[in-house]
C-alpha cells in the first residue's frame, strides 16, 4: 500500500533536475521540469517554510495539513484573501490573525 507524499514545486524541480542528468526526458517530463522552474524558492527554503507552516496549530490540526502547507509554500500568498481562498477548499475559515501569521512566514522567504 502506498501513502501520498506531498512535495513542493521547488522539491519537484530539484528531483527532476537530478533525474535529467541521468537520462533523456519524455516531452511530458520536459514540460513538468519547465513548469517546476517557476518555483520562487529553493528546495531547502521550501522545506523550511513547509515545516514552519506545519508548526502552526491551526494548520497542523487539518486533515490535509501537509497538502495545505505545500499549497501555501508553492503559491506564497501575500494577501489575506489569497490565504482565505486556499483554506476555503478545506472548508475551514481562518481569522485575520491566522492569515497574518501565514503571510508573515511567507514574507520572511520572499
**Structure confidence at residue 1 (pLDDT):** 54
- What is the residue whose three cell numbers read 506545519? 54
Domain ranges for the chain, please list them: 43-109
Q: Are 41 and 74 in contact (CB under 8 A)?
A: no
pTM of the model: 0.90
Q: Measured over all CA atoms, what is the biggest interatomic distance in the chain, rounded to whole angstroms? A: 48
Q: For the segment 34-84, what is each residue's pLDDT rounded down to a tens digit?
A: 999 999 999 999 999 999 999 999 999 988 899 999 999 999 999 999 999
Q: Which CATH class is domain 43-109?
A: mainly alpha
Amino acid at each position: 500500500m502506498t501513502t501520498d507524499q506531498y512535495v513542493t514545486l521547488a522539491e519537484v524541480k530539484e528531483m527532476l533536475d537530478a533525474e535529467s542528468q541521468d537520462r533523456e526526458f519524455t516531452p511530458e517530463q520536459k514540460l513538468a521540469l519547465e513548469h517546476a522552474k517557476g518555483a520562487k524558492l529553493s528546495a531547502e527554503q521550501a522545506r523550511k517554510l513547509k515545516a514552519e507552516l506545519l508548526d502552526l496549530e491551526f494548520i497542523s490540526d487539518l486533515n490535509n495539513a501537509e497538502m495545505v502547507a505545500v499549497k501555501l509554500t508553492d503559491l506564497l500568498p501575500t494577501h489575506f484573501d489569497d490565504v482565505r481562498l486556499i483554506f476555503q477548499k478545506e472548508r475551514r475559515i481562518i481569522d485575520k490573525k491566522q492569515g497574518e501569521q501565514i503571510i508573515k512566514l511567507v514574507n520572511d522567504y520572499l
